[in-house]
Every structure is written in structure tokens, then in C-alpha cells.
Structure 1
Amino acid sequence: MKSRIVKPLILEACIQKQDELIDNFKKREAEMNDDTFSQNESPSQSEDRRAGKYELLKAIGDELAFAQKELVYLNSLDVTTESTHVGPGAVVVTEQFIFFIGVSSERVEVDGATVFGISTKAPIYANMRGLEKGNKFQFNETNYVIEDVY
């Protein structure tokens, strides 16, 4: 069995990754905002190119708001208690991967191990929710055995 990674370190890495995502969205939003509301010059002065920019700016704003909401959720997770079943805040160790139940995120490196953030809305979570150490589940034709939950 893989050695346990300290849960607060996993949460800290996930929060850092979420902060980076939020910063990137803020930068993109600021750039798009400047571009959208700058001089509206086009080859044909009768052609307005702002409409598509407004839509893109709104989409980036929506993504930013979602990322900020997920950060609030991450900060609300209690990782000080030991989990015995798969649920929010749990670390799930399988023979293939280590999952942290919180929000979907790119992989994070913690103590030399790769951890994948899984949202409670993710399809894979539906297949593992409530399971315990020793249970099996399947997702995308891959079979998993839960080696540890904590």
C-alpha cells in the first residue's frame, strides 16, 4: 500500500492550484475587458466587432465566478478528521490513482505523489461515493480497488 499523504497538504496544494486558476481567469478577463472596450476599429467602420467580445468576456466572467465558488467550497472542507468512506474531503487510494474528493482539478504533486482532485459532481465520484477500503468500482471500463480511504 502507498504511504499516506497528509490531508492538509493535499488540500493546501488543491487550494494553491485553484488560486492559480482564478488568477489566470482574472488576467484573461482584464485583457478581454481592455480589448472589448478599447477603440472599436475594424476594416469596415460600419462593422461592429464588439458583440463576440462581449460574449467571450461574459463566458470568462462565468468561469471565474465558478472557480471562485469552488475555492470557497475547498476552504470549507474539513480534512482534520479521518474518513472511513468516500465522501467530500476524503483521500481515496486505488492501485492506479490517488483521488482527493473536493473539486475537479488538474493533478497536484504532494510529497512526491500525484493526486487528482475529483468533484462530487464528477461521474467517477458517483461510482465511488460511499465506498470503503477494500471495495471495488468501475469507471470508463477501468476497474478500481480501493486500497485506502482516509
Structure 2
Amino acid sequence: MTIKQQLLQICNERVDKRIQDYKEEIHLIKEAIESNDKGNSEDDDSGNGKLLNDLEKNMAYMNDALKAKDFLKQIKTNVNSTDAVLGSIVKTDSMNFYLATSIGKIELENKEYFAISLSSPIGQLLKNKKQNDRFEFNQTKYVISEII
């Protein structure tokens, strides 16, 4: 398995875990709302207000995770480009980036990669850059040494 395939697999696994966690949380919140409804004979809905708010938040988070999962399906690990594009590994003089979705740090074969989205601020800076290009992010200067 290539490094790109391994990174994509890790991203998919982490997104799947997020989706599963949100599903479980939504299920628990729905159970709590049902329990409150059964045990509450009065017209007092104050307990359900917070639960409904939490339910709405978790459903939005899950929707975002599902979109990330669909987005990851667009990545082709066999495409080689000299430009930084979706699915590229961008190695710089100090960090390695994987242009996929915002997952954060991935450790693989004793190296660190930061999975980032092309729509993130640093992803926008990296987009379509080439080897030896320079960019600055958060007052740190980078030089691209390789794009895989």
C-alpha cells in the first residue's frame, strides 16, 4: 500500500469513527428526550430544551462528517501531479501536509503528516503550489521540497 493509500485509509477511518460517535450521541439524546417525555406529566419542557439543542448540534456535526466522507471518495491515490491538489502530499522544509480533509496530525512510518482541507486557510495557500515554491502561514515561512 502506498503512503497516499495509507493516509487516505486513516482519514476514512477517523471520519467513520466521528460518524459512529455522533450516531451514538444522537441515539442517547433521543432516549433522554423520550424518557423525559414519559416521566414528565406537566407542561414543563425546560429539560428538553437543552437536549433538543444538543440533538441539533450533533446532527449538524454528523452531517459535516458525512460530507467529509463523501469528499474523501473524490480522492484518487494513483494520480500524480506536480501541483498541490486534492490528494497530494506536500512536503516542506519543516512539515508534511496531506491535502484531503481536516483530520489533523497523522503519524505514519515514523513521520508526521497533517491532513488538512483545501478550503482551510493553509490549504488555500498550498493549492496549486509547486516544488520549491514558498509560502508563509502564521508568521512561519515554508519551502515546498516535494509534492507526491
TM-score over 0.5 (shorter chain):
yes
**Greater helix share, structure number:** 2
Whether 1:11 aligns to 2:8 is yes
Q: What is the distance in 1 between the residues matched to 2:89 and 2:112?
A: 12
User: Which residue pairs with 1:123 in the alignment?
Assistant: 121
The whole-number CA distance in structure 2 between the counterparts of 1:47 and 1:19 is 37
The residue aligned with 2:21 is: 24
Verify: 1:35 aligned to 2:26, yes or no. Answer: no
Secondary structure of 1:116 counterpart: strand
Residue 46 of structure 2 is aligned to residue 70 of structure 1: no
Aligned length: 145
- The alignment's C-alpha RMSD in Å is 1.8
Whichever residue aligns with residue 65 of structure 1, its letter is N
Gaps in structure 2 of 5+ consecutive residues: none
CA distance in 2, matches of 1:105, 1:129: 18
Give the Cα separation in 1 of the matches to 2:79 and 2:63.
29
* Mapped partners of 1:135, 1:142: distance in 2: 14
Mind listing any 5+ residue stretches in structure 1 that lack a counterpart?
A: none
How far did 1:24 drift?
1.3
Identity %: 22
Query: How far is 1:105 from its partner?
Result: 0.6
Q: Deviations over 1:105-140 (max 9, x none)?
A: 121222222211111110111112111011110111
1:84-95 superposed matches below 5 A: 84-95=82-93
Alpha-carbon offset, residue 81 of structure 1: 1.4
> Following superposition, which runs of at least 4 residues in structure 1 exceed 2 angstroms of deviation?
39-42
